[in-house]
Amino acid sequence: MTLSVRLSRAAGFPIDVAFEADGGVTALFGRSGAGKSTLIAMLAGLERADCGHVSVGGRVLYDSAKGIDVAPHARRTPVVFQDGRLFPHLSVAGNLAFAQRFGGGKPAALGPIVDLLGIGHLMRRRPGGLSGGEKQRVAIARALASSPDLLMLDEPLAALDEARKAEILPYLERLRTEAGLPMIYVSHAVSEVARLADRVVMLQGGRSVAAGPVTEVFADAATAAIMGPRDAGAILEGTIALHRPDDGLTEVALSSTRLSLPLVDAPVGTRVRMRLRATDIIVAVGATEGLSTHNVMPATVAFVREGEGPGALVGLECGADRLIARLTQRSVRTLGLAPGVACAAVLKAIAVPPEDVTVLS
């Protein structure tokens, strides 16, 4: 189901955004104040644009040229906020039943939704007796119960501690795989986007500065600079080729090489996604014998972007895969790194923690 968005506004918080997505999860990513929540409000019909067009699966929700502006309650684009916003006087079952009334004439079957989010044992309880993670799972279930055409999640994990985030992320991964509807996921957390998103729309100052597959956008020089030195890095996808349980390692086949990671609990042939942080990549020119790691990937420098301080971002092409390394500008000069220079990307296997590896299929 294709989502098409083109919106602009000059008054208030300026917005100028355009992107398309064909199902799956589209992440709206950017620093605080980038315009993520404002855009969500526009898509939901809670804030107005000056001009543009929004459609989901060919159903037009907004078209300034044709005078179409579907009311928020009729858009079938529910938003799950970070605080859940459940009705406190209703049980979990009551919250879901209320949402069913807004199903556009096609009430959702609750059984699969309850099973998907693991909330069957919570149905008689009220929101006041739920943990933060349980409230968010119920809030997502309530949104699904309204038979949406598009599900939007506005930083749903922002108010949770790390333990609760770890609890709910697997459910969000199941939702991505099994729900079968387009989703927009708002976040400024790279770890969440890396695990969940198929595509990314990078926002800065209310403008979409990049949009595309997550593996391409995160490896781009401009977007890496927006993310900052701590979060910059690449996302790669590969296939599990071999397990080495005696060594505690799994080998993942990439486009032109293999990458050793801590043991991944998935069978050979499974597709996985890995987040490789720029600060963990070492660049070598010349001989690479005598290293303690087996992850030495032949590469070619794609770009060098110097920062205002002592650091620089170096883009690397390893076959069809793209990496980013964060080095000092001194190292860049010493190694003679420039676009087209042949080198090697070096990565310790233990530099990729389990939370940075996502099983896709």
Mean pLDDT, rounded, of the chain: 90
In this prediction, residues 37-42 reach a mean pLDDT of: 93
Distance, CA of 225 to CA of 145 (rounded, Å): 40
The alpha carbons of the chain give a radius of gyration, in whole angstroms, of 22
Query: Is 281:326 a contact under the CB 8 Å cutoff?
Result: yes
- Domains plus CATH for the chain? 2-227 (3.40.50.300), 233-359 (2.40.50.100)
Distance, CA of 179 to CA of 192 (rounded, Å): 18
Render pLDDT for 295-336 as a digit per residue (tens, 0 to 9).
Answer: 999 999 999 998 888 999 999 999 999 999 999 999 999 999
Render pLDDT for 94-112 as a digit per residue (tens, 0 to 9).
Answer: 999 998 887 665 667 889 9
Query: Is 209:289 a contact under the CB 8 Å cutoff?
Result: no
Exposed, middle or buried: residue 269 (CB in 10 Å: 0-12, 13-18, 19+)?
exposed
**Residue 278: per-residue pLDDT:** 93
H or E element in which residue 151 lies: strand 151-154
**Residue 105: per-residue pLDDT:** 55
Distance, CA of 63 to CA of 53 (rounded, Å): 4
Whole-structure pTM value: 0.86
> How many CA atoms does the CB half-sphere of 215 hold within 13 Å?
11
Q: How far is CA 236 from CA 169, 217, 283, 351, in A?
A: 20, 11, 18, 15
**Residue 23: per-residue pLDDT:** 80
Number of other CB atoms surrounding residue 72 within 10 Å = 15
Query: Is 338:301 a contact under the CB 8 Å cutoff?
Result: yes
Which residues is 208 bridged to in the sheet? Answer: 203
Structure tokens at 300: 């070619």
Query: Is 352:261 a contact under the CB 8 Å cutoff?
Result: yes
Instruction: For tokens 């599900």, name the residue.
Output: 151
Number of other CB atoms surrounding residue 66 within 10 Å = 9
**Residue 220: per-residue pLDDT:** 85
DSSP structure string for 168-227:
HHHHHHHHHHHS-S-EEEEES-HHHHHHH-SEEEEEETTEEEEEEEHHHHTTSHHHHHHH
Distance, CA of 349 to CA of 118 (rounded, Å): 34
Which residues is 305 bridged to in the sheet? Answer: 313
Distance, CA of 224 to CA of 305 (rounded, Å): 10
Give me the phi and psi of 56, to 5 degrees please. -130, 115
Question: What SS3 class is residue 22?
Answer: strand
In this prediction, residues 154-177 reach a mean pLDDT of: 86
Structure confidence at residue 185 as a pLDDT band (50, 70, 90)? very high
